[in-house]
Every structure is written in C-alpha cells, then in structure tokens.
Amino acid sequence: MSVLDRFIRYAKIHTQSDRETGLTPSTPGQLEFAYLLSEEMTGIGMQEVSVDDNGYVMGFLPSNAGKEAPSIGFIAHVDTSPDMSGKNVRPRVIEKYRGEEIVLNKEKGYVLSPVIFPELSRYIGSDLVVADGNTLLGADDKAGIAEILEAMEYLTRHPEIKHGRIAVCFTPDEEIGEGPDHFDVKRFGATFAYTLDGGELGELEYENFNAAAVKLTFRGRNFHPGYAKNKMVNSLKVAHEFLGSLPKREAPELTSGYEGFFHPFSIKGGVEETVLELFIRDFDKERFEWRKGVIENGVREFSKKYELPVQIEMRDQYYNMKEKLEPLHYILDIVKQAMVEVGVKPLIVPIRGGTNGSRLSFMGLPTPNIGNGGHNSHGRYEYIPVSSMEKVVALIARVCELCVTLK
C-alpha cells in the first residue's frame, strides 16, 4: 500500500470532531478509525498495539540498533475540523498538475485557483489530491497518519536501517483542543517526539500561540417593542457593541507572522440573553495577558454601563512550547539535517494555531511539529501534493536513523 492509497482510504472515513458532545472521543467515527489503524499497525509488525477507552491508538516498533539509542515518538490526530463538513469526503487525484484552475464543484462554482492560491505554481508537474468542494479533504491530519504508518512499514521492510525504539500514537479530538487530555506520556515512553500535522513540506515548528477561550453571556431586558423606549436593553446589540470595542485590526483576517488577535467565532441569542464566544491568541506571554485583561475590563465596563451583569468564563487552553523546546535544540537539528539529506528545504515558521505538541511539551514530552505537506486546511480548498507526502515518509525514516547517533 502506498502513502497515497493510505491517505485516500483514510480521507473517506468520517471523523469530524464535535465541541458539544462532552465525550472522548467526541464522535463515534474517530473510534472506528482508531480500531482500523490498530489493525494496520499490527499488520505491519508493530508491537503492543492498543486502543484505549478514549480512542488513543498506541503501538511501538522495537529497536534494531543493537546499541543504546533514545526512544522517539511520532504523533498525529484522527479527527478533522468541526469548521467544515468531513462527511462523505470524495478525494480525487489531479495528475501532473499543469498550473490551471482546478474546478472542485462546477455546479456550485468552487474553484481552486492559482490566482488566489499562488503557491499552486510550485507543484506544476506534480499529482495533487483534492476533494469535491462540499467538504474539507482531511489532509489535516490524515496525511500525517498515512505518512507515519508508511514510514513504519518501510522500516520493517528494511531492517538494514538501524533505529531505536519508535513509539506511535494517534489521538482523538485535537481539532477541539482536547488531543492530549488523556495521553499516557509514561506508557508512550519516548524521550522526545514529533507531531506530523498541517503545514507545507519543510515546515518545522517549535513556536505556537498562547491560547485562551472566552465565553461571555450578556443579559438584556425585554419589553414589547412598541413600548420599549428607555426600558429595553437588547443583549444582541450589547454583544455587538462589545465586539466593536475590541481593537479593530487585531483579527485573524488582518494579522500574520507573530501578530496575535481576538477571534469571535460564535454568537447566539436574542433580546434577553446572548452568548458570545471568542478565542484569544498571542505568541508573547505578556501580550497574551494584556489581551485577557482587555476582555475583563470590557466586561466590567459593559456591566456598569447597562446595569446588567456580563458573565465571563475564560480558560487558558495551551501555551507557547518555545520555552520548553528552545533549550533542546538538538531535537530540531536532527530534523533539519534529515530534511537536507532527503532534498527538502527546512522552513522554520511559527504555528499560528495550536498543536498537540504544545501541551505535550508542558506534560514532559518535548514535541515540535513537522509539516505533513498539506495546504488550506479546515476548508473546501484543502489539497496536498502526493510528492510532499512521499518526501515526508522519507524524512520520518531518516529522522529515525539519525537519532541512533544521539547519546
């Protein structure tokens, strides 16, 4: 089975996670996929393969190095984003892409255009995998899973390639921030690990946002609209006014690089009550705390202004893993060396989002991220070059081999 065959098979499985169920895994398709993966892992010769009650798949490739070598790990997630449908995904391969517009869905007018996505020009002559425009593709992170398992099978077929103990884990619910919630770091037993997650070929990431989630409940006073003058307080309008009070240019659509933002992603309600949900993101810890203060000060101001309490629930989600990984630069140097040796240009970039590796690094398992080769994740325009997946497979195998030289 090739990495492309694996990926297409996986992409068709409905594993979209759900923030609302309160379960782990949050959706049944993730558990079904976990059992399928456990069968494949056993079939390629991995040992101690298991699926726990929370849907975590774990298995190990024993060392064949004949000498002491660090145990390393590779991690990917089985779920796809709740932001776009992951049901009835229909992947197709565009062979030897020629630089043209790719019509994803003629009826609905969905087109993957090199004008809007100029990076497509880098893949002229390559095979690309896309969906039909009605769903995401799921390369985030089923490409990562396919690449890890293809690399593990390659290593079992080539015992002349020496490696230490390799731990593999596929987690549920990464896309809703719960991937590491039940991760058994002790059983995993790795000295360090790598996530294989969204990001173009060559990306190596050891910095990510500090992140918080905010839920604000605005109260109102309802009266008959014909007699509401000086009496009604419309909570919907108050919530929108609150949004308007936030720094206007500090939004996802207006920021890049190391710039942080406030991101409202849900608003529901009526005159009496409106619930507004936001994400806070920033690389800098002091700026992150400032952003939380902006929200808290706004809550006090609006509660006083309308003489109705605004309820706030705010929780930190994860922190910038840079502080845990920067002192362990050899973990990154190994990957950079492997990239050069397999013909990939290293691209050190910050993650403008979250990753299982962030929380795992704070749980005692240093875990930077390697890009799995995908583009435009979480939406209908997602695609992945087949050549990128093949390069990542070679990269994983070379990382495993190079780690034997570590002391």
Q: Is the pLDDT of residue 175 over 80?
A: yes
Q: Which of 13-22, 66-75, 181-190, 281-290 has the lowest mean pLDDT?
A: 66-75
Over residues 89-135, the pLDDT tens digits come to 999 999 999 999 999 999 999 999 999 999 999 999 999 999 999 99
Distance of CA 53 to the CA centre of its chain: 22
Edge-first strand listing for the sheet containing 347-348: 47-51, 57-61, 166-171, 72-77, 192-197, 369-371, 203-205, 347-348
pLDDT average, residue stretch 387-399: 98
Q: Cα dist. 226→223, 229, 236, 237 in Å?
A: 8, 8, 18, 18
Residue percentage of the chain with pLDDT more than 70: 100
Of the candidates 39, 19, 35, the one whose C-alpha atom is nearest the C-alpha of residue 27 is 19
Q: Give 161's pLDDT tier (boundaries 50, 70, 90).
A: very high
Q: Is the pLDDT of residue 62 over 90?
A: yes
Instruction: State yes or no: cis peptide before 141, omega within 30 of 0.
Output: yes
- Catalytic residue IDs: 79, 174
* Average predicted confidence (pLDDT) for the chain: 96
User: What pLDDT score does 66 carry?
Assistant: 79
DSSP for residue 309? P
Buried b vs exposed e over 350-361: b needs ≥16 C-beta within 10 Å?
ebbbbbbbbbbb
Strands 310-318 and 347-348: unpaired
Distance of CA 129 to the CA centre of its chain: 19
Domains and CATH numbers, the chain: 3-207+320-405 (3.40.630.10), 210-317 (3.30.70.360)
CA dihedral 16, 83, 360, 45 (to 10 degrees): 30
Q: Which residues contact 23 (CB under 8 A, 6 or more apart)?
A: none
Contact yes or no for 212/362 (Cβ under 8 A): no
**What is the rounded CA–CA span in Å between residue 309 and residue 301?**
10
Strands 92-94 and 203-205: unpaired
* Two structure tokens written together for 262: 């406030």
What DSSP assignment string belongs to 319-353?
Answer: --THHHHGGGHHHHHHHHHHHHHTT---EE--BSS
Predicted structure pTM score = 0.89
**What is the rounded CA–CA span in Å between residue 397 and residue 151?**
6
Distance of CA 248 to the CA centre of its chain: 26
**CA terminus-to-terminus distance, the chain:** 35
User: What pLDDT score does 373 carry?
Assistant: 97
Contact yes or no for 136/80 (Cβ under 8 A): yes
pLDDT average, residue stretch 261-276: 97
| Residue that has been written with the tokens 């991760």 in this structure | 183
Strands 72-77 and 192-197: parallel
Over residues 281-323, the pLDDT tens digits come to 999 999 999 999 999 999 999 999 999 999 999 999 999 999 9
Q: Is the pLDDT of residue 256 over 90?
A: yes
Residue percentage of the chain with pLDDT more than 90: 95
User: What pLDDT score does 407 carry?
Assistant: 67
Over residues 348-390, the pLDDT tens digits come to 989 888 788 999 999 999 999 999 999 999 999 999 999 999 9
**What is the rounded CA–CA span in Å between residue 217 and residue 57?**
38
Q: Which residues contact 59 (CB under 8 A, 6 or more apart)?
A: 38, 41, 42, 46, 47, 48, 49, 50, 167, 168
- Quick one: which H or E segment has residue 211? strand 210-219
